Structure 1
């Protein structure tokens, strides 16, 4: 056996059904690396191609992978309302610089059931005028739900944008008790 493959990044993925539709979860040895909303066949194909080119390894479908098992359990508990915080190792390799800084602050500083304004989050990372850049960081979040970009809203009370769609953002905020449950 050649030792060439020793350092190769292993990427495993699976799709889990949730209250907000199918989510694609992908992980490396370092942790959960990607969560993707609306994981239809087309979205899944595009995501796996992107992961292969960004991480240098062909993602392997492995629903019973130990790397994913805990993430699957925690997502189920979160959507069941029995878990408020994700406690998973995260692989931040799909994001860097300011965007990573903002998302790490969001992950550690904005707890379940609360929201933060784009400008306030910008202030928390020492860039009080960077509200728009914070919006861009939210849009580039490779780990939505776990890194809770759904908790970032407009200062005037508007819900703000969301990569997973506003309906998804509303459902997540309702699940966390921030918004009333949607009527339909």
Structure 2
């Protein structure tokens, strides 16, 4: 993706700044707050991208994210996207949108829903590369025992996002690298 056609916008979620990135074609990334992004290994400096509030308003994403972070059920399925990934990754990310607000699916259920029941690990890997957390709700995917297992933004962030949707009592037992 050419930096010349990318734009950024800051939004507030959980009283912290998140960075939204888009092209003229659609939303391409949602970056966690700086402290979380650093812990998750994001190194790109998005501050050099120009702002374009009119573009984000045209996509209707800012209002929806603000309502979402205020605890209102919001759908993102008609927001134009411009995500980069392999065809398999994009198919996994599209399948994430089928998980209803306030519900969770296991990685196995995701693979089954895609008619790829033997691809559980590949599905999990693709979910882990999701460039649009919240918009493509990867936080709604949990381990086969119902426990929180992984999230690039950290298990505490995943737990908080799920709690916002009314999914409570989740146990963050995932891999140590996600425990922040």
Shorter-chain-normalised TM-score: which range? 0.7 to 0.9
Q: How many residues align?
A: 163
Shift >3 Å, 4+ stretches: 42-45
Asked whether 1:67 is paired with 2:67, we answer no
Of 73, 93, 105 in structure 1, the residue corresponding to residue 95 of structure 2 is 105
Contact 1:114 1:178 in 2 (8 A): yes
Shift of 1:21: 2.9
Asked whether 1:88 is paired with 2:79, we answer yes
Shift of 1:61: 2.7
What SS class does the counterpart of residue 5 from structure 2 fall into? Answer: coil
Unaligned runs of 5+ in 1: 1-7, 50-57
**Rg larger in 1 or in 2?**
1
Residue 52 of structure 1 is matched in structure 2 by none
User: Kindly tell me: are residues 179 and 136 of structure 1, through their superposed partners in 2, closer, same or farther at Cα, counting changes over 3 Å?
Assistant: same
Q: 1:166 & 1:45 partners in 2: Cα distance?
A: 20
TM-score (norm 2): 0.80
TM-score (norm 1): 0.79
Deviations 1:87-143 (A, max 9, x none): 411112x21221111110111x11101111001101111210111111111110011
